[in-house]
Amino acid sequence: MSATAIAWLEYDPGEAVNQLWCLRKGDPVRLTAATFSIRSAVNGYGGGAMCLDRNTAYVVEHDTQQVVRIDCRTGTRQQITRDPLSQFGGLVWDSMRGRVLAVREERGEGREGRQQLVAIAPVTGHLTVLAEGEDFYGAPAISVDGGSLAWISWSLPDMPWFATRLWRADVTEQGELASVRSLEPPHTASVQQPRFADGNLMVLSDHDGWWQPFLVSEGGAGVVWNCLEDRQADHGNAPWQLAEQHGVSLSGGGRAWVCYQHGYGELWWRSQWDSQPRRLLPDCVDFRSLQSRGDDIFCVARHTDAMDSVWQIRPETGYCRRLAGGERPIPAQECVRPRSMVVPVESGSAVQLFHYPPISAADAAPPVILRVHGGPTSAAYPVFDPQAQFWLQRGFAVVDVNYRGSSGFGRDYRLALAGRWGELDVADIHSAVDFLARKGVVDTDRAFIQGRSAGGFTVLMAMLDNSRFRAGASLFGVSDPSRLRAMTHRFESGYLDWLLGDPESHPERWRERTPVSQGHRIRRPMIFFQGGQDRVVVPEQTEAMVAALEANGQSVSYHFFPEEGHGFRRAERQAFLLQTLLEFYNAH
């Protein structure tokens, strides 16, 4: 039996593709060409676009959204599925039965977005439906002996970070499911990332207020949820994508997991004999895609001063090896690392932010660019960001705010934005600017604000009747929630009602938080960037916002890129965006 290959996906901004790489004789080797990109489009955000069977990779081709088999030794590939009305994600290899498990999402008329949990025969591409009837499915988990399957589902209008259902089933010799049952936590919860270890089912659940690891067992007393790490901290991120993995078990009985503290991700390990955990790779600030082989941990680690990297860790011996990545485009002494700060806000709450001071500044209080992350149920992380370093080299401070509604700070913090989008996030942004001004580290007379997607909405709301920001930048940002609600994809079709409330019950709130109809209240310069292929925020939405500002005599700049989507992926577009923003900010 040949050893399992070590493979990963790597994004190349120059060619705008996700490529498959493999470790061959100790060296990274690229297996796919620039004409072949790997990326799932399930739910619009994808995830789980690759799984491995020893030296064979099964991937989702971006253009066709079909499953393709790639030999990691030769790079030869063969298309497995041929279903143009479906797309796939959350791939998992079922080694006992030699098949691929996946989430299938249909694209046909009248069935748009309908999902199923399926098994795919690796030779014929034949599909077997394992579970259906729920609106959405998470990536499945199969036990080592192949006898148990677990998965997550959720239904509209819920999002997977609000309420999900955990399922478990026995798997027959024929690969069919039997004794399918739902395992309910004690309270409403977002359950995610199921996995098996020695036949035991483990998950992350936030029913106690944080995404913590639980051992879920069944017995005469019913379902028992036993918390494995009672540290009050999130041990995972909001599941925007399928197949995220923030915990792993090793063959020797040890466990490794990620824990988020003050915005930083920490990797911890505990052996089966030691009651005290040990921190791994303490110089890294975030970890994703944990996998194991024997007593080795493999993960993508992220740094404050280097690009993402792939690591192999043997915690029992302390062996650590970087397999790929980790390049330093900027010399370490010239790379600014962020400082985490906590800002007091209303009602005794606090908001976390990252402050990046410029490399050199003419004044003690430099101009500042406040960046609003998207989602809005996402987060800003202190990882190496070439765009932040661009600003810091040019005398600007940069501030990333994890306003209430961000993930990584517990369930209550994450759900605080319900009905208050465009209000609470804006208040937290203002509090952050005032806090830093009182400390004397930024100049509020030279403050700018920019945001992407949902962050662009917060930018526009912050610019209404604005006296804090000299100018604002919206990058494919939401400007018309009603239009977004009518046109958005199925995954987020109930999200806006959660963020703003039911429009029939709260019509005034929707009017007040629709920037496109409030253009007359924006009296300072704005700049917009939009992709022509954007299916989340369609070009017509941004163009209507630009027209509304121009009709009121506002200073506005608009840049449209026909080939880009929701997020600019091409290196030349990202460079143009930065240079254009620099000229815009310097002009104001």
Residues in the chain: 588
Count CB neighbours of 425 within 10 A: 30
Q: What are phi and psi of 390, to 5 degrees?
A: -55, -45
| DSSP class per residue in 476-539 | S----HHHHHHHS-GGGTTHHHHHH--TTT-HHHHHHT-GGG-GGG--S-EEEEEETT-SSS-H
pLDDT for the residue 566: 84
* 3-state class (DSSP) for residue 82: coil
Residues 192-225 as b or e (16 or more Cβ within 10 Å = b): bbbbbbeeebbbbbbbbebbbbbebeeeeeebeb
N- to C-terminal Cα separation, the chain: 65
Whether the Cβ atoms of residue 146 and residue 392 lie closer than 8 Å to each other: no
Residues of the chain with pLDDT under 50: 1-2
* 3-state class (DSSP) for residue 384: coil
Between strands 200-205 and 350-356, the pairing is: unpaired
pLDDT for the residue 364: 77
Matching residue, tokens 């209430």: 404
Residues 336-367 as b or e (16 or more Cβ within 10 Å = b): bebeebebebeeeeebbbbbbbbeebeeebbb
| DSSP class per residue in 372-428 | E-SSSS-----S--HHHHHHHTTT-EEEEEE-BTBSSS-HHHHHTTTTTTTTHHHHH
Whether the Cβ atoms of residue 270 and residue 277 lie closer than 8 Å to each other: yes
Tokens coding 358: 């410029």
| DSSP class per residue in 525-579 | -EEEEEETT-SSS-HHHHHHHHHHHHHTT--EEEEEETT-BSB--SHHHHHHHHH
pLDDT for the residue 110: 66
CA–CA separation, 344 and 29 (whole Å): 49
Q: What residues are paired with 529 via a beta bridge? A: 475, 559
CA–CA separation, 340 and 354 (whole Å): 5
- The amino acid that residue 23 corresponds to is L
* 3-state class (DSSP) for residue 10: strand
* 3-state class (DSSP) for residue 390: helix
In the CATH scheme, what architecture does the domain 332-587 have? Answer: 3-Layer(aba) Sandwich (3.40)
pLDDT for the residue 505: 94
Helix axes of 424-439 and 454-463: crossing angle, nearest 10 degrees: 70
CA–CA separation, 588 and 578 (whole Å): 16
Q: What is the DSSP letter of 565?
A: B
Helix, strand, coil fractions of the chain, as percent rounded to 5:
20, 35, 45
**3-state secondary structure string, 180-205?**
EEEECCCCCCCEEEEEEECCEEEEEE
Matching residue, tokens 């604002």: 472
Count CB neighbours of 392 within 10 A: 25
| DSSP class per residue in 297-329 | EEEEEE-SSS--EEEEEETTTTEEEEEEE---S
Q: What is the DSSP letter of 4?
A: P
Query: CB-side exposure of 173: number of CA atoms within 13 Å?
Result: 0
